[in-house]
Homo-oligomer: A and B are copies of this chain.
Amino acid sequence: MTWQMAQRAQRLNPSTIREILKLTERPGIISLAGGLPAAETFPVEAMAQATARVLRDAPREALQYAASEGYGPLREWVAQELAGQGLRVQAAQVLITTGSQQGLDLVGKVLIDPGSEVAVEQPTYLGALQAFAPYEAQFLPLEGDDEGPLPQALRAAGRARFAYLLPNFQNPSGRCIPLQRRLALAEAAASAGLPLVEDNPYGDLWYDEAPPQPLAAAAGDQAVYLGSFSKVLAPGLRLGYVVAPAVLYPKLLQAKQAADLHTPSFNQRVVHEVVREGFLHQHVPTIRSRYRAQRDAMDAALRRWLPAGCHWVRPGGGMFFWVTLPAGLDATALLPEAVAAGVAYVPGAAFYSAQARAHTLRLSFVTVDVARIEEGVRLLGGVLQRALGGAPSASGSAGSAGAA
């Protein structure tokens, strides 16, 4: 063959989730698989007004090439917003990215050599594994419990290039790391000389109480922090940011420049126009309110329809329930049956870098409405009942088992 691929191309593979999502595009399937925000939350009117204003007031700047660092006022806005969350950074540390997925790619490009170890939770965000894998990372699994990775696990991972952590309402597990654990993790990372890459797409989506301060607030120059507008405004804008210490920023910036010159100036100015007067302070509570109701509906449906032996922790935020099935069930193997029954989920195995736990699955509670959540979970319960050899579920008697 004429084309000779790079070694790293072997680490580029189709996304399991994307393949599943294709299955679920069949009409009539209730998909609890995707990680799509509810489109009803997109602030269409505010976007339309902001776009019209930007194209009226600064059309040439919005449509011209721009600085790789990002639009100055948006970088300032990000720095101020983070200060309000306990993370004090300079605007000069903020690099605007084409979604926070690009932040992960740039971090990988600058920090990972072939064979470098990258410490990751089990399970962890699939998109991060996909971003780091092509740089030929070796993933080092971090042992953890319900409060997050164990400090001693970080202490033992000092040889890794960095640890990738998603402290707030993790995708897929929904787990939020409590403050004391965060402080212990920052201390452990410091003593081990282990840099941290903190990813925070879901921090604003809390339904009971706001999450503690970012890990990076305690880790200082030993942390890179990634944020996103995808969950609080709209993902189709592809707008995120990386906050990096001064020692790292120039290389990330040059990697950004090589990757796409800059994030669309049009999008940056429109989003700044939307958010600059405090729009999110009114808007995000409406998203929280919707998603809280959907979370509660899914929790109730799981209690009602899932057979005994299923376990989950009701998440305090984010977008997902993480369900552990009775031992012996394989969520990947069951998926075709679930799709045939009319419901889809993501098998948990996709989220492990090693030693996948096959009897886990992820359910999104934000994409479909309350009635369809109820129906989807009912269908899932039936599939699981049949797999366990029981009669198709018809009553809610098994519901409360394992819910915490």
Given contacts A44-B59, A63-B39, A110-B12, contact A259 B51 (CB under 8 A): no
- Are A36 and B65 also in contact (CB < 8 A) when A257-B130, A262-B238 are? yes
A36 cross-chain contacts in B, Cβ below 8 A:
64-65
Q: Mark A1-17, 1 if CB is under 8 A from B, else 0.
A: 11111111100111100
- Judging by beta carbons under 8 Å apart, are A238 and B259 in contact? no
Stretch at the interface among A94-102, A145-153, A206-214, A383-391: A94-102
Complex alpha-carbon distance, A133 and B254, angstroms: 11
Q: Which residue of A97, A193, A264 has the most chain B CB atoms within 10 A of its CB atom? A: A264
> Do the beta carbons of B105 and A259 come within 8 Å of each other?
yes
Q: A52-B48, A55-B51 are in contact. Are A238 and B261 (CB under 8 A)?
A: yes
Q: Mark A21-62, 1 if CB is under 8 A from B, else 0.
A: 000000000000011110110101001100110011001111
Is the Cβ of A13 less than 8 Å from the Cβ of B254? yes
Q: Which chain B positions have C-beta within 8 A of A56?
A: 48
Q: In the complex, A15→B261 CA distance in Å?
A: 11
Bound-state Cα–Cα, A281 to B302, Å: 57
Say yes or no for A345: interface residue by CB 8 A criterion. Answer: no
Tell me whether A47 and B63 are in contact in the complex, defined as CB-CB below 8 angstroms, given that A5-B110, A247-B1, A260-B98 are known contacts: yes
Name the B residues within 8 Å of A266 (CB-CB): 234, 236-237, 267
Give the segment of A111-119, A177-185, A351-359 that binds chain B: A111-119
Q: Which residues of B have CB within 8 Å of A112?
A: 6
Question: In the complex where A6-B109, A99-B260, A234-B64 touch, is A44 in contact with B39 (Cβ < 8 A)?
Answer: no
**Contact of A131 with B by CB under 8 A:** yes
Query: B4, A111: Cβ atoms under 8 Å?
Result: yes
A200 at interface (Cβ–Cβ under 8 A)? no
CB contacts (< 8 Å) of A236 on chain B: these are 61-66, 264-266
Determine how many copies of this chain the complex contains: 2
Contact of A254 among B14, B250, B264 (CB under 8 A): B14
- Identity of the chain B residue whose Cβ is nearest the Cβ of A254 in the assembled complex: B12
Shortest distance between the CB of A115 and any CB in chain B (Å) = 11
Residues of B within 8 A of A254 (CB): 12-15, 130
With both beta carbons as reference points, the residue of chain B lying nearest to A102 in the complex is identified as B260
State whether A111 and B42 are in contact (beta carbons under 8 Å apart), knowing that A15-B257, A260-B99 are contacts in the complex.
no
B-side contacts of A59, CB under 8 Å: 42, 44, 47-48
Most B CB within 10 A of own CB, among A44, A56, A97, A127: A44
Given the contacts A6-B109, A195-B3, A255 and B134 also touching, CB distance less than 8 Å: yes
| A251 interfacial by beta-carbon distance below 8 Å | yes
A393 sits at the interface (CB 8 A): no
Does A241 sit at the interface, judged by CB under 8 A? no
The complex places the Cα of A354 from the Cα of B40 at a distance, in Å, of 55
Q: Tell me if A314 is interfacial: C-beta within 8 Å of chain B.
A: no
Could you tell me the distance in whole angstroms from the C-beta of A174 to the nearest C-beta in chain B? 20
Interface residues of A (CB under 8 A from B): 1-9, 12-15, 18, 34-37, 39-40, 42, 44, 47-48, 51-52, 55-56, 59-66, 68, 97-99, 101-102, 105, 109-113, 116, 127, 130-131, 133-135, 161, 193-195, 221-222, 230, 233-238, 245, 247-248, 250-251, 254-255, 257-267
Query: 10 closest Cβ contacts across the A-B interface?
Result: A63-B234, A39-B60, A236-B265, A12-B254, A63-B236, A44-B59, A238-B264, A42-B63, A102-B260, A98-B260
